[in-house]
Amino acid sequence: MSAKGPDVNATKSVSVDYGDRKLTIEVPESAVIAEFNDPPFLDDPAQAVREALAKPSGLPPLAEMARPGMRVAIAFDDITRPANVATTILPRIVDVLEAAGVDERDIVFINACANHRKNTRSELANHLGPEIFERFWPRGQIVNHDCDDPAGLRYFGVTEGGRVVEHNKTFFDADLQIYQGNVAAQPWRGFTGTGALIGLASTRSIASHHSLNSIPQHVAESRAGQSKPKPMGMKPEMSAFLETATGKPVFYVNAIAGTQGRIIDVFAGHANQITKPAWTRAEQIFRCDVPQADVLIIGLAQTYAYGHSNNALVATVGALVPPRFSPGIPILREGGVIIALSPSNGMIDPRHFPSYQEAVDLYGRYHNMRPLVDHEAEFAARPEYLHAYRHGYGYPALHPFWLLYEMEYALERAGAVYLAGVSNPGAFRDLSLTPVTDFQKAWQLARKHVGPTPRVVVAPTFWSRPRFKFAVEAGQG
């Protein structure tokens, strides 16, 4: 009797994010589960911060850079990043400044919210913790960056690469510039960590590297037919430009954090000196080895990135952005299928997302990203959108454009994208997704595209845990 091969019909149960709860789905036994898993955390993160401030890379100790009479600006990543990092690092910075003789009235904290919405008093209080908030808020020493306030911005020029350098005036006019940030996975090869460049930039500056023609391609596609030397990357180019223009470096204090913002490592000093070791460490931490997928399954949490997943555009981003977290070989094979799961109702809150619905409707007119660029200037100048951003805690007018542009890669690569479980299917058809009632229906349709025995990768908690990079096995793609 011959030995039996593996049962191609065998399945296993996987619990995936599904709004505010978990949903159990049946996937092939061979499916690979891709999740972030925490490495060991620092035993004493506060002490690690003190040591990093005392022995930074590429700059003198913070205690030597700070002097009495200095105006000090401390910028910090906004509430899209873990609060625990801010509440651990910022008090240690203040301790050093005070010991060096800096008057607490000469310190200002700037929420580096880039082209995100400004954060409310209660959000800032929660993010910064009582030690910082209750001490510095009453005298107006905690402020939101405003990317559309001409009086609060300083224009430095345009780099050789065409990036507009226009940034927060208070921060870059300060005698001492400190930035508390995070090193986290972002699409393709990069990681975050030089937050002053984007977090404190103007809309015009952000547009020069976030607009459609500036969105990075996948590395393999960007190299195809390339004959000219690769230009300097946006971050090192803008960092060097700003430092030359101001004559002052930014003192960075960056953390790598795991679940619940618990700190894994800390890096302090000059961006040029801490980026490589921080990214090397991050590459080890935020790596998940997987095969290339015929079908990529993604669970969508209730809230992530920019807000609630009831928002049709936020949910669509949740489905389409994960394939961009492929530093080498693409996670999704050409013509593969994406299945995302969410009970989203597709409703966009006009208070926090004032321009989103109009931008989605505009995309629905073209079903093509390219013509949207021609509408950016008109959207950005709308008085009602400017008012909602500057005074009503709404996202700036152009933010939905950046999200739409990020969708293009997956829409072009995938043979189909199914969003299972949504209650307002029309909202997602407008965004080029195919809504279906449940996972079983999506799975049946996916197999028509890729065959009866596809290679499956499941990312059940991609948005509820720290995001990671898909490291696809060599020889695929």
pLDDT digit string, tens, across residues 244-265: 999 999 999 999 999 999 999 9
Mean pLDDT, to the nearest integer, of 86-96? 99
| Structural fold of domain 45-283 | Rossmann fold (3.40.50)
pLDDT of 80 reads 96
CA gap 168, 164 in Å, rounded: 13
Please, which pLDDT band fits residue 227 given cuts at 50, 70 and 90? very low
Mean pLDDT, to the nearest integer, of 131-154? 98
User: Where does 11-35+288-472 sit in CATH, by number?
Assistant: 3.90.226.30
214, pLDDT greater than 80: no
What phi, psi does 181 have (nearest 5°)? -140, -170
Domain with CATH 3.90.226.30 in the chain: 11-35+288-472
- Among residues 144, 99, 138, 93, which one has the least CA distance to residue 118? 144
pLDDT of 216 reads 56
Name 154's bridge partners.
Answer: 167
Q: Assess contact for 42 and 54: CB atoms under 8 A.
A: no
CB crowding 138-173: b at 16 or more within 10 Å, else e: eeebbbbbbbbeeebbbebeebeeebbbbbbbbbbe
Please, which pLDDT band fits residue 223 given cuts at 50, 70 and 90? very low
Crossing angle of the two packed helices 312-320 and 356-366, in degrees rounded to 10: 60
Q: Assess contact for 345 and 424: CB atoms under 8 A.
A: yes
Please, which pLDDT band fits residue 125 given cuts at 50, 70 and 90? very high
Task: Please report, for residues 32, 239, 266, 331, 432, the alpha-carbon distance to residue 48 in angstroms, rounded to integers and kept in the order given.
Answer: 36, 26, 7, 36, 47
Domain with CATH 3.40.50.11440 in the chain: 45-283
pLDDT of 221 reads 53
Q: Write out pLDDT tens, residues 156-199.
A: 999 999 999 999 999 999 999 999 999 999 998 899 999 999 99
Mean pLDDT, to the nearest integer, of 368-386? 96
Which tokens sit at 223?
């190299």
Which tokens sit at 404?
């739409």
340, pLDDT greater than 90: yes
pLDDT of 212 reads 75
Name 436's bridge partners.
Answer: 420
- Among residues 377, 317, 325, 338, which one has the least CA distance to residue 456? 338
Mean pLDDT, to the nearest integer, of 311-329? 97
231, pLDDT greater than 60: no
Name the pTM for this structure.
0.94
Q: Assess contact for 157 and 205: CB atoms under 8 A.
A: no
pLDDT of 211 reads 74
Mean pLDDT, to the nearest integer, of 24-35? 98
Let me know how long the chain is.
477
- Secondary structure class of 150 (helix, strand, coil): helix
CA gap 295, 31 in Å, rounded: 10
Please, which pLDDT band fits residue 456 given cuts at 50, 70 and 90? very high
CA gap 377, 382 in Å, rounded: 9
Mean pLDDT, to the nearest integer, of 347-368? 97
228, pLDDT greater than 80: no
Which tokens sit at 210?
């976030």
Q: Write out pLDDT tens, residues 413-455.
A: 999 999 999 999 999 999 999 999 999 999 999 999 999 999 9
